[in-house]
Amino acid sequence: MYGLPRLTHIDDETARTVQAVGVSMLVETMNGSAEGTESTVLGPFHMTESPRRELGDSIDFLGTGRPCVVSGRVLTADGTPLPDTELDVWQCSEDGFYDVQQPDVQPPGNGRGLFRTDGGGRTVVPSHYPIPTDGPVGRLLEATGRHPYRPAHIHFIASADHHRPVTTHAFVADSPYVDADAVFAVKRGLIADFTESFDVPAAPETVGARARLGAAGSGRRRIRRVRDLAVGQLPAPTRRGGGTQNASA
Ligand SMILES: [Fe+2]
């Protein structure tokens, strides 16, 4: 209850330092679940409540980057679509900044959305940026000859009743730094192909949400990615049967 808010409230630089030296990823790996989609670090910018949005809503309010359409489903570990799942999504802008870093440029909640899957289990989402280097983290990276960049990614937290929440990313396969994340959070299974398309916008029934892709590049090309997330069942002593569901993302 108090852990993350206290950490982010007291000192964001401390949180960034922990991530930049790989401790966050080490702890995450030691405590991650073998079920469902692989988890990874929360990251330093989940620091504001995502605004509630409807499926199909855009999370981009700048309108300056390459449009990106992302869709997918939340599944149980055995692959069954899981309706009524809360999906928290956040990403940086096409310039590599989160809304909280640019209060004079981005409206609050830009690049963020809190969605809920529908009966078909459909859900959503969609960006590379440097972690802030104006403090000790920057000096640490400089002293050790490391760059501060994270590969383009979209953050997700999927939460459903009776299932273990999963905090994860979708990394853009051809993004710079995908093999050299400053916080070591890339797992091979979380790298996703984002394909370019000049199609008309995806049909509403296949689109969870739309957002701008902040990755490098120019030109107004539509990119679409279908992404499924699988959540494992929580150990539940009071449940009968005790069957667990195994899944892959
Ligand atoms: Fe991020």
Find the 1 Cα to ligand 1 centroid distance in Å: 22
Euclidean distance between CA atoms 59 and 56, whole angstroms: 9
**Residue 171 in 3-state DSSP?**
strand
Q: Are 166 and 229 in contact (CB under 8 A)?
A: yes
Find the 151 Cα to ligand 1 centroid distance in Å: 9
Q: Are 70 and 228 in contact (CB under 8 A)?
A: no
Find the 50 Cα to ligand 1 centroid distance in Å: 14
Give the model confidence (pLDDT) of 68-79 as tens digits: 777 788 888 888
Find the 46 Cα to ligand 1 centroid distance in Å: 8
In CATH terms, is domain 3-231 a member of 3.50.50.100?
no
Find the 244 Cα to ligand 1 centroid distance in Å: 32
Find the 181 Cα to ligand 1 centroid distance in Å: 11
Find the 149 Cα to ligand 1 centroid distance in Å: 10
Give the model confidence (pLDDT) of 86-112 as tens digits: 999 999 888 888 999 999 999 999 999
Residues of the chain with pLDDT under 50: 1-10, 123-126, 200, 202-219, 238-249
Strand 86-90 versus strand 153-159 pairing type: antiparallel
- pLDDT computed for residue 241 by the predictor: 39
Find the 236 Cα to ligand 1 centroid distance in Å: 32
Find the 150 Cα to ligand 1 centroid distance in Å: 7
Sorted by where each begins, the domain ranges of the chain are 3-231
Find the 112 Cα to ligand 1 centroid distance in Å: 11
This model's pTM is above 0.85 = no
- pLDDT computed for residue 109 by the predictor: 93
| Both structure tokens of 202 | 């995806």
Find the 129 Cα to ligand 1 centroid distance in Å: 8
**DSSP 8-state secondary structure symbol assigned to residue 93:** -
- pLDDT computed for residue 177 by the predictor: 92
Q: Are 43 and 155 in contact (CB under 8 A)?
A: yes
Find the 128 Cα to ligand 1 centroid distance in Å: 8
